[in-house]
């Protein structure tokens, strides 16, 4: 971490020295590659961190170039220039935000829809640039763009570009370290889980996409005076594709990798493109191999060397010294299912399921396989939309709302398979749970939330001492520990209602004992209501006195454990009773 | 059918991903024998069958069918070698007709091989043109049972075949299983219906927490012996 | 009247071709879950096959078997070496096929050059249809495409392979349990899908400029057709082709090519937003 920061700084210093070590023409050429590299850095934020791939980034680059080129050509003083620069940055960001939000809210995950739509946008941009002669100069381009006032295009402009690169790198590094970047990384690993923590992931991804577009717009703005001409090629699909290739080869997950990729391939291309017929074929081949085999790209080689450097700016262990109180004033829970139906294709999964839960403590749901236990959680948490019926939680209808909305109303869910964020450290996993429901959008861009702590967190450290070793990645924990971390995270949201789907699945008998103790203790201290799905009768018996039995999507029985056990209807379908 | 093979699994462990559900289970099914596996919900019965069918990858242990190690074979090859399987859930292809469900693996698409089964379950013949997704749960189970029993396999694995099936049809299923076993085919049946087990079993195993906790030969009071182990 | 007939024929021709490209993508994306970003490049290979046949002085219809052979071979290579390792990993397939698309374009560019090529327009033989004089080559292709769709529709409903593909899609675990070799079936479906794109390329070659970068447009149009028509059915596919092809043609005629393009894009985003499963949704 710290040594990679050192190598980033050295890399930037090295770039500053280029005009002194070579001639200014090399620096001029390099300036162009740095601009493309910045666009690549934006792609890296989306692709390397958030896990969605924009394929039309040149659109934003081109819009920035045309807008600022237009402002330069007006030659109307600094105010217009500043306004032009702002427009060159904000217009792409706005387009990206709107398109991104529209797509992401409908398509969870990293499916192809987003990538293809961005591809189509860049094609559209190319056609618009070609046809709107009066604004863009059409096919021949916008020509005669004057130099940036106060600079010489072939000499000092390079330093302006360099400063922009430093600015962009600084902003992206900060955004990546802030809670926003951590949440973005968590989105790539398990978007659905993050939504159960109340995070609006569509908004998050749209903001990341807007940031990447703003960066591309800034690079495009500097491209206009650098080249003196902007043609439709700057908006087009070919440039988009090339920058994606450079980003991949340089290293999409790193801050400086895309810049390195743009520089290396850029210089090699200008040397070899004309003399070596199969140059483009070679680069395409390298791209395919890198994408499949070496996702770290060239920069991971650089970082390998960098580990030998002394680290600078290493911070001491982070302190959690900001006590926040997450406990809610009114922790009471009133949950009601009224004739809830869920029909998927030909299958009726929930069939007029009705029940009420309005006392604190642990309630259990049992029932044979396929009875609709997990489906009941699914319609309650927004994973599935109920086909009919009402689900009411503390006076509000929640059936059919999106996952993060329901989570923010105070319903936390632990999935059956432990779903922690494997590439993030244990500390970061806990942070995400602490932030759940409390973190505002502006706090996502400050560092203070990393210092949050709650009394319940200290209690968790007490129950699960392994959590104190916060720096190890959650993926390196054993299965049992991951179950416990997941459980701890679910509780740390301090939601009044906790849904626990087979919290002891896959645990050994001693671990099962620990988990039962933990559930008992947490529910008692927080006064929350927990509903657990469990097959193991010993667990059910120890934890709860209220048991709901589901069968074929409907409530079969409902009452205390002794009543359930003596109920003949339950015996008929459950527990190996003979028919 | 060539020379009949036994299924012998030993010290088998496995589950979903790195979650171990089945731990060190061993059992044998000899040709012509009917072996039952029972236990409460969630103890790993279905996981065990899926490991043998190849739907899940085993973590350790052996699955021998005759001399051959089945762990190296993909699921469709296990079926070709002679292990048939009717799953517990998603038992039919909902989008296909009943007829397609029964004939999709045969080039000739001939229903003649189902004559004896259709005699017992005439509803299937009546509904052969209907989409299988429109059948009731019990009818789907019967369709799946017929498909697996009619296949030319030396071993048949049935995962809860009687779930949702009405009693007279369960009785007919039992008759077919007994007949086929008489021809030398082995059966491995996961079942919670202890009456069905008592009627047919040569041998029975009880699973709990993924391990085999009890095994017993078949016979008159099998139901009582098993029920004792399964009490809530 | 003649003009209307001519326009009508052109529209039907384009819609059929687009439906063919989209059909290929529907098989690969809808059935196998692989978004093949190189799909358009197979259209390009088909179009270059016509060019090769023309340069060799052979009748243009000889391009059909050539395109099929080339696409099948390239499709097999891709499936065997790349795709089959990535099933059920949608993001990785997206990336890998994107890279393969670039590779295919660059190879064709290195061999044939970057410049636009066109297939000889003065095709021998014309036919009179509804009073319009139309090239026989296109009429033959149109008839072939209609026959192909009809045949495919019947075959898919009746053949065992159709049932097996349906089975593999609706319940892959059960399909392997009844002995279906899903790996071989998936490979066959992939190759079938890219061959459809190749055939469409043969049909398109006389109408458009043939160049290494021509594929992207067809990838996008066929993707939009799937967004509008849904992944579930052949009917949805034809409806999608008509909506996309039709709105593009009409708006382009009234305003400009850019207007048509923008309309198609807006319609697609609206569908994604309002009807994520397309017009003819599968329940």
- For residue A425, the cross-strand partners are A473
For residue B95, the domain's CATH number is: 3.40.50.300
Cα–chain-centroid distance for residue A96? 16
> What is the model's pLDDT at position C236?
82
Least confident of A134-143, A349-358, C14-23, C178-187: A134-143
> What is the model's pLDDT at position B144?
95
Expressed in angstroms, the distance from the first to the final Cα of chain A is 63
CA atoms of A60 and A67, how far apart (whole Å):
10
Same domain, A86 and A226: yes
For range C231-243, the mean pLDDT: 80
> What is the model's pLDDT at position C283?
36
C217, A120: Cβ pair inside 8 Å?
no
- For residue C18, the cross-strand partners are none
CA atoms of B20 and A184, how far apart (whole Å):
31
Domain boundary among A199, A221, A237: A237
Residue A65 belongs to some domain of the structure: yes
> What is the model's pLDDT at position A2?
57
B42, A565: Cβ pair inside 8 Å?
no
Domain limits of chain C?
2-213
Nearest to B105 among C166, C179, C183 (CB): C179
Q: What is the dihedral of CA B47, B53, B54, B60, to 10 degrees?
A: 60
- Alpha-carbon gap: A480 to the closest alpha carbon of chain B (Å): 10
Q: Which residue of C has its CA nearest to A51?
A: C91
CA atoms of A103 and A108, how far apart (whole Å):
9
> What is the model's pLDDT at position A168?
95
Closest among A338, A324, A37 to A161, alpha carbons compared: A37
Residues of C with Cβ-Cβ distance to A121 under 8 angstroms:
265
Nearest to B93 among C170, C179, C182 (CB): C170
Residue A300 belongs to some domain of the structure: no
User: Which of B52, B54, B76, B159 is the mutation pick for testing C, counting most C CBs within 10 A?
Assistant: B76
Closest among B157, B131, B166, B178 to B55, alpha carbons compared: B157
pLDDT band at B53 (very low <50, low <70, confident <90, very high): very high
A123, C95: Cβ pair inside 8 Å?
no
- Alpha-carbon gap: A131 to the closest alpha carbon of chain C (Å): 8
For range B104-114, the mean pLDDT: 87
Residue B2 belongs to some domain of the structure: no
A579, B232: Cβ pair inside 8 Å?
no
Domain boundary among A237, A256, A279: A237
pLDDT in tens, chain A (579 residues): 556 788 888 888 888 888 777 887 788 889 999 999 999 999 999 998 998 999 999 999 999 999 999 998 888 888 999 999 999 999 999 999 999 998 888 766 656 888 888 988 898 888 888 888 888 888 888 888 888 888 887 778 889 999 999 999 999 999 999 999 999 999 999 899 999 999 999 999 999 999 999 999 999 999 999 998 998 888 888 899 889 988 998 988 889 999 999 998 888 888 887 777 788 888 888 888 888 788 788 888 887 776 665 544 444 456 787 777 666 656 788 999 999 999 876 678 898 999 999 888 899 998 876 688 888 999 999 988 899 999 999 888 988 888 999 999 899 999 887 889 998 999 999 999 999 888 888 999 999 889 888 888 989 999 998 898 888 888 888 778 888 999 999 999 989 999 998 888 767 677 888 889 999 999 888 888 999 998 777 788 888 889 999 888 899 988 888 888 888 888 777 643 333
For range C49-58, the mean pLDDT: 89
For residue A470, the domain's CATH number is: 3.40.50.300
Supply the range of the domain harboring residue B48. 7-230
**How many domains, chain A?**
2
Residues of B with Cβ-Cβ distance to C176 under 8 angstroms:
54-55, 74-76, 79
For range B222-228, the mean pLDDT: 86
Cα three-residue angle C12-C13-C17, rounded to 5 degrees: 115
Residue A105 belongs to some domain of the structure: yes
Residue B1 belongs to some domain of the structure: no
Residues of C with Cβ-Cβ distance to B54 under 8 angstroms:
176
Residue A320 belongs to some domain of the structure: no
> What is the model's pLDDT at position C280?
58
Residues of C with CB under 8 A from a CB of B: 160, 163-164, 166-167, 170-171, 173-183
Supply the range of the domain harboring residue A560. 335-573
Instruction: Find out whether A442 and A452 touch, Cβ atoms under 8 Å.
Output: no
- Alpha-carbon gap: B23 to the closest alpha carbon of chain A (Å): 11
Express each pLDDT in C262-271 by its tens digit. Answer: 888 888 878 8
pLDDT at B183 over 90: yes
Closest among A311, A303, A363 to A497, alpha carbons compared: A363
Residue A84 belongs to some domain of the structure: yes
Residues of B with CB under 8 A from a CB of C: 53-55, 74-76, 79-80, 85-87, 90-96, 100, 103-105, 107, 109, 147, 151
> What is the model's pLDDT at position C124?
65
In B52-131, beta strands by DSSP E? 58-65, 68-69, 83-86
Residue B105 belongs to some domain of the structure: yes
pLDDT at B179 over 70: yes
B94, A345: Cβ pair inside 8 Å?
yes
Cβ burial, residue C191 (10 Å; 0-12/13-18/19+): buried
Express each pLDDT in A361-389 by its tens digit. Answer: 899 998 876 688 888 999 999 988 899 99
Strand ranges of the sheet holding B203-208, from the earlier edge strand across to the other edge: B83-86, B155-159, B186-190, B34-38, B203-208, B211-217
DSSP letter for each residue of A117-136: HHHHHHHHHHHHHHH-HHHH
Residues of A with Cβ-Cβ distance to C92 under 8 angstroms:
292
Q: What percent of chain B has pLDDT over 90?
A: 54
Residues of B with Cβ-Cβ distance to C168 under 8 angstroms:
none
> What is the model's pLDDT at position A314?
43
Q: Quote the mean pLDDT of chain A.
A: 86
Residues of C with Cβ-Cβ distance to B151 under 8 angstroms:
178
For range C12-39, the mean pLDDT: 86
Chain A neighbours, 3+ Cβ pairs < 8 A: B, C
For range C136-148, the mean pLDDT: 85
A280, C110: Cβ pair inside 8 Å?
yes
Residue B168 belongs to some domain of the structure: yes
* pTM, full prediction: 0.83
Residues of A with Cβ-Cβ distance to B230 under 8 angstroms:
575-576
Q: Could you tell me if B38 lies within 8 Å of chain A, comparing CB atoms?
A: yes
Residue A246 belongs to some domain of the structure: no
> What is the model's pLDDT at position A542?
86
**How many domains, chain B?**
1
Q: Any idea what DSSP says for residue A392?
A: E
Cα three-residue angle A509-A514-A520, rounded to 5 degrees: 125
Q: Which residue of A has its CA nearest to B46?
A: A369
Helix (H, G, I), strand (E, B) or coil at B63: strand
- Alpha-carbon gap: B41 to the closest alpha carbon of chain A (Å): 6
Residue A540 belongs to some domain of the structure: yes
Cβ burial, residue A310 (10 Å; 0-12/13-18/19+): exposed
Residues of C with Cβ-Cβ distance to B75 under 8 angstroms:
173, 176-177
Q: Could you tell me if A576 lies within 8 Å of chain B, comparing CB atoms?
A: yes
- Alpha-carbon gap: A381 to the closest alpha carbon of chain B (Å): 24
Closest among A12, A75, A388, A53 to A244, alpha carbons compared: A53
């Amino acid at each position: 971490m710290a040594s990679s920061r050192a190598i980033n700084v050295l890399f930037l210093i090295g770039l500053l020295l280029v005009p002194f070590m070579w001639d200014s023409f090399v620096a001029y050429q390099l300036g162009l590659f740095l601009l493309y590299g910045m666009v690549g850095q934006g792609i890296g934020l989306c692709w390397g961190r958030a896990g969605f791939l924009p394929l039309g980034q040149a659109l934003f680059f081109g819009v920035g170039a045309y807008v600022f080129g237009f402002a330069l050509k007006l030659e109307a003083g600094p105010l217009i220039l500043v306004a032009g620069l702002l427009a060159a940055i904000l217009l792409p960001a706005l387009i990206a935000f709107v398109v991104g939000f529209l797509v992401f809210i409908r398509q969870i995950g990293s499916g192809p829809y987003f990538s293809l739509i961005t591809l189509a946008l860049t094609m559209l941009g190319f056609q618009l640039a070609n046809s709107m002669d009066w604004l863009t100069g059409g096919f021949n381009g916008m020509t005669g763009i004057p130099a940036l006032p106060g600079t010489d295009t072939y000499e000092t402009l390079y330093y302006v570009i360099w400063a922009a690169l430093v600015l962009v790198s600084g902003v992206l590094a900060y955004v990546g370290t802030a809670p926003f970047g951590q949440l973005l990384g968590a989105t790539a690993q398990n978007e659905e889980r993050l939504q159960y923590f109340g995070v609006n992931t569509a908004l998050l991804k749209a903001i990341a996409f807007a940031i990447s577009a703003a960066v591309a717009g800034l690079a495009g703005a500097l491209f206009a005076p650098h080249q003196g001409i902007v043609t439709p090629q700057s908006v087009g699909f070919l440039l988009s594709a090339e920058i994606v290739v450079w980003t991949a080869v340089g290293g999409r997950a790193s801050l400086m990798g895309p810049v390195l990729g743009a520089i290396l391939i850029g210089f090699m291309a200008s040397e070899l493109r004309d003399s070596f017929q199969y140059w483009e074929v070679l680069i395409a081949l390298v791209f395919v191999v890198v994408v499949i085999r070496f996702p770290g790209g060239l920069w991971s080689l650089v970082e390998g060397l960098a580990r030998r450097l002394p680290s600078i700016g290493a911070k001491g262990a982070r302190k959690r010294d900001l006590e926040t109180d997450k406990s809610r004033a009114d922790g009471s829970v009133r949950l009601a299912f009224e004739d809830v139906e869920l029909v998927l294709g030909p299958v009726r999964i929930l069939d007029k399921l009705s029940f009420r839960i309005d006392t604190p403590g642990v309630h259990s749901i049992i029932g044979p396989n396929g009875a609709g236990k997990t489906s009941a959680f699914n319609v309650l948490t927004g994973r599935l939309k109920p086909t009919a019926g009402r689900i009411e939680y503390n006076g509000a209808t929640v059936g059919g709302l999106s996952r993060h909305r329901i989570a923010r109303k105070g319903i936390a869910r632990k999935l059956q398979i432990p779903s922690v964020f494997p590439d993030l450290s244990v500390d970061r996993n806990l942070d995400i749970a602490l932030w759940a429901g409390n973190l505002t959008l502006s706090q996502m861009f400050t560092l203070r939330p990393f210092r949050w702590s709650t009394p319940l967190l200290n209690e968790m450290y007490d129950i699960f001492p392994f959590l104190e070793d916060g720096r190890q990645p959650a993926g390196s924990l054993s299965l049992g520990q991951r179950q416990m971390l997941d459980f701890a995270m679910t509780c740390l949201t301090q939601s009044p209602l906790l849904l626990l789907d087979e919290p002891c699945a896959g645990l050994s008998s001693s671990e099962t004992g620990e988990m039962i103790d933990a559930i008992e203790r947490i529910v008692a201290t927080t006064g929350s209501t927990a509903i657990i799905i469990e097959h193991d009768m010993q667990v059910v018996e120890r934890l709860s006195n209220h048991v709901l039995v589901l069968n074929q999507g409907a409530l079969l029985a409902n009452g205390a454990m002794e009543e359930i056990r003596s109920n003949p209807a339950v015996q008929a379908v459950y527990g190996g009773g003979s028919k | 059918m060539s020379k009949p093979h036994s299924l012998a699994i030993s010290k088998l462990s496995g589950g979903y991903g790195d979650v171990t559900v089945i731990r060190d289970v061993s059992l044998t099914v000899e040709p012509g024998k009917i072996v039952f596996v029972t236990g409460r919900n969630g103890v790993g019965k279905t996981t065990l069958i899926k490991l043998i069918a190849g739907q899940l990858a085993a973590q350790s242990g052996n699955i021998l069918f005759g001399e051959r190690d089945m762990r190296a074979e993909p699921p469709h090859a296990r079926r070709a070698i002679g292990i048939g399987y009717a799953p517990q859930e998603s038992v039919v292809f909902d989008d296909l007709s009943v007829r397609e469900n029964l004939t999709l693996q045969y080039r000739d698409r001939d229903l003649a091989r189902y004559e004896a089964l259709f005699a017992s379950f005439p509803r299937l013949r009546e509904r052969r043109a209907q989409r299988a997704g429109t059948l009731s749960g019990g009818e789907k189970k019967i369709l799946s049972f017929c498909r697996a029993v009619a296949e030319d396999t030396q071993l048949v694995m049935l995962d809860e075949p009687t779930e949702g099936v009405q009693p007279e049809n369960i009785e007919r299923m039992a008759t077919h299983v007994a007949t086929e076993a008489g021809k030398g085919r082995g059966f491995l049946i996961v079942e919670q219906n202890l009456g069905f087990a008592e009627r047919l079993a040569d041998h029975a195993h009880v699973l709990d927490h993924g391990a085999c906790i009890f095994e017993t030969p078949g016979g008159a009071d099998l139901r009582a012996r098993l029920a004792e182990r399964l009490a809530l | 009247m003649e003009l209307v007939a001519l326009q009508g024929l052109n529209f039907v021709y384009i819609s059929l071709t687009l439906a063919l490209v989209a059909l290929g993508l529907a098989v690969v994306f809808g059935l196998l879950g692989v978004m093949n970003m190189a799909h358009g490049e197979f259209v390009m290979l088909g179009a270059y096959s016509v060019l090769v046949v023309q340069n060799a002085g052979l009748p243009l219809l000889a391009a059909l078997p050539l395109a099929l052979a080339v696409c099948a071979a390239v499709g097999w290579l891709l499936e065997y070496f790349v795709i089959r390792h990535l099933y059920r990993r949608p993001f990785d397939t997206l990336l890998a096929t994107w890279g393969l698309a670039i590779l295919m374009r660059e190879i064709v560019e290195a061999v044939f050059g970057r410049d636009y090529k066109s297939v000889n327009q003065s095709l021998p033989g014309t036919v009179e249809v509804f009073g319009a004089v139309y090239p026989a080559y296109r009429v033959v292709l149109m008839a072939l495409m209609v026959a192909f769709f009809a045949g495919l529709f019947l075959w898919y409903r009746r053949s065992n392979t159709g049932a097996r593909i349906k089975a593999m899609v609706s319940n892959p675990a059960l399909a392997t349990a009844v002995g279906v070799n899903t790996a071989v079936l998936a490979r066959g479906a992939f190759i079938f899908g890219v061959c459809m794109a190749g055939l469409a390329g043969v049909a398109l070659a006389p109408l458009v400029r043939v160049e290494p970068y021509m594929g992207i447009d067809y990838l996008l149009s066929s993707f939009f057709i799937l967004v509008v028509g849904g992944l579930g059915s052949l009917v949805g596919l034809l409806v999608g082709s008509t909506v996309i092809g039709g709105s593009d043609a009409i708006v382009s005629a009234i305003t400009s090519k850019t207007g048509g393009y923008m309309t198609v894009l807006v319609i697609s985003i609206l569908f994604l937003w309002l009807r994520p499963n397309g017009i003819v949704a599968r329940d």
